Amino acid sequence: MRIITLFIALTSLLLVGAPAGAPPLDAEQVRAGMSTGRLLIEPARNQAMLSVITARSAEQRATGYQHLPRERAQPMWFVFPRPTRSSWHMRNVGYALDIAFVDGNGQVIDIQRMLPERAGYRSPGLISAALEVPAGDMRALGIGVGTRLRLIDEEKRAP
């Protein structure tokens, strides 16, 4: 009987949770720990710089844009500790994103449009990094397959 009562109590807590649409506190805390940097885009109509938020840890990469309102979306640079084949989802993201998959030489090998609340997006091969931006921004930035992307500086965000 105690086990059933405990189960009901815990289930009730999970159902009450946070208000609908409110981001989980841990997602905001994880993003607050991400660093910022500048990404060099070559050739992109000569050279250009893009300010990015950098996701380096597994937790930061998993959090990404989840529960982040569109108006607060900034370009996000995902870095992997070693070349990897990766899968991506759009759970808890309410707007479309473009993703550029980047190989170990910094070259964009594929770009995909990811739609809200969908899964099954995969890198076409081994990647060392990926860039996510709101849908349409990749083209506006002049980034395409073959473009080189390189993080040139990075610093921790001020608390």
| Residue 10 forms part of a structural domain | no
Highest mean pLDDT among 22-26, 59-63, 105-109: 105-109
107 forms beta bridges with: 148
Whether residue 19 is contained in a domain is answered as no
Summarised one tens digit per residue, pLDDT across range 62-93 is: 888 888 888 888 999 999 999 999 999 899 99
Q: What is the CATH number of the domain that holds 29?
A: 2.60.120.1140
Q: What is the pLDDT of residue 112?
A: 97
> What DSSP letter does each residue of 63-125 carry, written as one string?
HTTTT--GGG---EEEEEEEEE--EEE-TT--S-EEEEEE-TTSBEEEEEEE-TT-EEEE-SS
Q: How many domains does the chain have?
A: 1
Percent of the chain with pLDDT over 90: 49
The residues, ordered by sequence, that sit 6+ positions from 95 with a Cβ below 8 Å of its Cβ are: 70, 73, 116, 134, 135
Q: What is the pLDDT of residue 121?
A: 94
Using alpha carbons, select from 129, 147, 151, 127 the residue that is nearest to residue 138: 147
- Of 6-20, 91-105, 133-147, where does mean pLDDT reach its minimum? 6-20
**Domain range for residue 132?**
24-156
Give the separation between CA 32 and CA 39, rounded to whole angstroms. Answer: 19
- Say how many CA atoms lie within 13 Å of 75 toward its Cβ: 22
pLDDT digits (tens, 9 = 90+) for 9-47: 333 333 333 333 444 458 777 777 788 899 999 975 667
Joined tokens for residue 71: 């108006």
- Tell whether the model's pLDDT for residue 2 goes beyond 50: no
Query: Has residue 14 been placed in a domain?
Result: no
Does residue 11 sit within a domain? Answer: no
